[in-house]
Amino acid sequence: MHTTSCPASCVVCSEDAIICHKLSEIIGVPETTKVLMLTDGQIDSVDNGNFSDLSNITLLGLSNNAIADITAHAFHNLTVLRVLLLDHNLITSASIFDSTFSQLQSLEILQLGNNAIRVIDGSWFRDTRSLRTLQLEGNLITRLESGTFTPANLRSLESLDLSDNLIEHLDRDSFQALPQLRRLDLSRNSLHTAPDAFSYLSWLSALNLDYNQWNCTCELQELSSFLSSYMQAPDKVLYNGRQLVCLSAANPAVQTVLQLTEANCVPPNRNITVLIKAKGSVSAQRCARDVSLAAFFFFAGKFS
């Protein structure tokens, strides 16, 4: 694809860089183009032929358009692409195929924020071994399972942004396949409780769990313990850690997640067990039985 001129809305138009706004379709550009940004327009689809000749491109920006459809091999010839910006579009989980990013082995930054993605499929990232930053903020994601990122090849990923989603479930092993992760943002979600899904991330230096819907019972005590230790490390940052407010708490004295300890947490269902070991004669066993029954009736009356 060659062109000798650009539309009037283009602010940069040269042999190696083209920056245009408010377009309704992807324009043809020279094969020498290294930077192409077509933003703030009404582009609604990306087809196989749009970028097939742009083997030199290193940055492709399609932010703030209306993209809902991406053909399976739309980016296949972009083997030196390092930055791909697809944020603020109408992309859904169905818009992305296993092959969509499969040829982008040089890709370091992928921006998919502020779209309509509901489910993350780890197979999308099976061949993006160079990816260091993945932006998924502002989507409709509700769950992170233990296998969410398992099929992916994201062993170089350093930054993951999942803020401003609808995440209400987090599995203990959700990030197990991301050993180099340094920055993780889960703020502004719908987490009520969460296990310690972070202690195995040995490189993690910045964590944001702010603005969730924490229910401060004993189910959160493990996470609270980890966060308290995490904050003590000089090279670790927990954003607004002391302000992780409990939306609800069984113990009114506990107002933030970090205030939750083994001593003051209240389990969802309080269980009391009396265990007596009796050895020897039948009379000793009967005595133990009588003590157990007495203890049962005492506690039953106390908590009725």
pLDDT (tens digit per residue) in 203-228: 999 999 999 999 999 999 999 999 99
Using CA atoms, how far apart are residues 75 and 180, in angstroms rounded to an integer?
Answer: 26
pLDDT category at 162 given cuts 50, 70, 90 is very high
Reference 223, options 194, 252, 262; nearest CA is 194
Domain definitions of the chain by residue range: 10-274, 275-304
pLDDT tens, residue by residue, 128-153 = 999 999 999 999 999 999 999 999 99
Three state DSSP letters for 75-144:
CCCCCCCCEEECCCCCCEHHHCCCCCCCCCCCCCEEECCCCECCCCCHHHHCCCCCCCEEECCCCCCCEE
Please report which confidence band the pLDDT of residue 183 belongs to, taking 50, 70 and 90 as the band edges.
very high
CB 17 within 8 A of CB 56: no
Percentage of residues in the chain with pLDDT exceeding 90?
84
Whether residue 115 contacts residue 89, with contact meaning beta carbons closer than 8 Å, is answered with yes
Strands across the sheet with 109-111, in order?
10-13, 17-21, 35-39, 59-61, 83-85, 109-111, 133-135, 159-161, 183-185, 206-208, 237-239
Q: How do residues 73-98 score in pLDDT, each as one tens digit? A: 999 999 999 999 999 999 999 999 99
Q: What is the pLDDT, as a whole number, of residue 280?
A: 44
Q: What is this structure's pTM? A: 0.86
> 295 or 18: whose pLDDT is higher?
18
- The one-letter amino acid code at 49 reads G
Instruction: Give the tens place of pLDDT for each residue, 232-255.
Output: 999 999 999 888 999 999 899 999
Q: Distance (Å, rounded) from C-alpha 292 to C-alpha 304?
A: 18
Q: Is the pLDDT at 287 greater than 80, yes or no?
A: no
Quick check: 160 pLDDT over 80? yes
Least Cα distance to 62 among 23, 101, 28, 99 occurs for 23
Question: What is the third-level CATH fold of 10-274?
Answer: 3.80.10
pLDDT of residue 133: 98
- pLDDT above 70 covers a percentage of the chain that reads 87
In the predicted structure, residue 270 carries a pLDDT above the cut 50? yes
Interior angle at CA 134, CA 132 and CA 139, nearest 5: 175
